[in-house]
Chains A and B, each alone.
Chain A
Amino acid sequence: MLVFSRRRGEAIVVGDGIEIVFLSAGREGVRIGVKAPMCVPVHRKEIYEQICEENRQAAVALLPAPSENPPAVPTESGQEPQVAVVEGSSL
């Protein structure tokens, strides 16, 4: 990991157009500003990781195990899953 010493108002530039500015420090922690192009997502790591973990919990296995050769499971209505129509609506 690269480690920098920065004074208040000084910044670090990462890649194209990403700037991390050191704003202030106090007992509560440090305040950091991030300037990045709109297409670059910027997240607090703990929030992003919380969502990663929730997604892992939500993931279900739909694929059959490689050794398994399952017959198409007839569903209750006899209708197999279909590709859904993707349509939007205003929220």
Chain B
Amino acid sequence: MGSPCPASPEDRIRLNTRFGDFEADSRNLLSFPSGLPGFEQCRRFVLLSSMDAAPLQVLMSVDGPPASFLTLDPRLVLPEYRCQLTASDNQRLGVGAGDALLWLALVTINDRGAAFANLRAPIVINPADMTGYQVVPQDSLYPLRHPVALS
């Protein structure tokens, strides 16, 4: 799809990954004002997808210590997945109840190749202003490591 207003070259960020080099422009940048727990200096990310990796997507930090995370829509793991945002969560994201949000569970693959999704602390992104953060719930029905079958 053609972009009606191409970004100027200074808006573009070159990403070198082991999958190759590519470019993202500033409109693709996700802002995480608090970083992620354990990666508080990672304030900007891009979300990458490829047909080979689907349904996994890669959340890749573009500043701070280099860090990338495999992510998955938590509803692909548990179709009935629900995460209740608090009023404070909504305020931090600048959203109201019922606004469309992007939810991602971080995926860990252990030494034996088994995959687990963190359903307790999902990433939530407000696509309207491209900001996100990781929800740290006081109580959650879901485990930190929920087994995932990746074919």
Contacts and interface: CB of A to CB of B under 8 A. Distances in A.
Contacts of B136: 41, 43, 47-48, 51
Interface in B81-95: 81-83, 87-88, 91-92
Interface in B39-63: 39, 46-53, 57-58, 60
B149 to A, nearest CB: 18
A39 B94 CA distance: 10
Interface string A44-57: 10011011111111
Contacts of A90: 98-101
A89 interface: yes
A38 interface: yes
Q: Tell me if A's interface is mostly helix, strand, loop or mixed.
A: loop
B141 to A, nearest CB: 14
Contacts of B128: 88
Contacts of A63: 16-18, 66, 68
B20 A84 contact: no
19 contacts: A38-B92, A39-B91, A43-B136, A51-B144, A55-B36, A55-B37, A62-B18, A70-B18, A72-B20, A75-B19, A77-B50, A81-B48, A81-B53, A81-B58, A82-B22, A83-B49, A84-B49, A84-B57, A86-B125
- 5 pairs of A and B residues whose beta carbons are closest in the complex: A72-B20, A88-B100, A52-B38, A84-B49, A62-B68
Given A62-B19, A81-B17, A88-B125, 12 more contacts: A43-B136, A54-B144, A54-B145, A55-B37, A55-B69, A60-B68, A60-B70, A60-B109, A64-B17, A75-B19, A75-B52, A90-B101
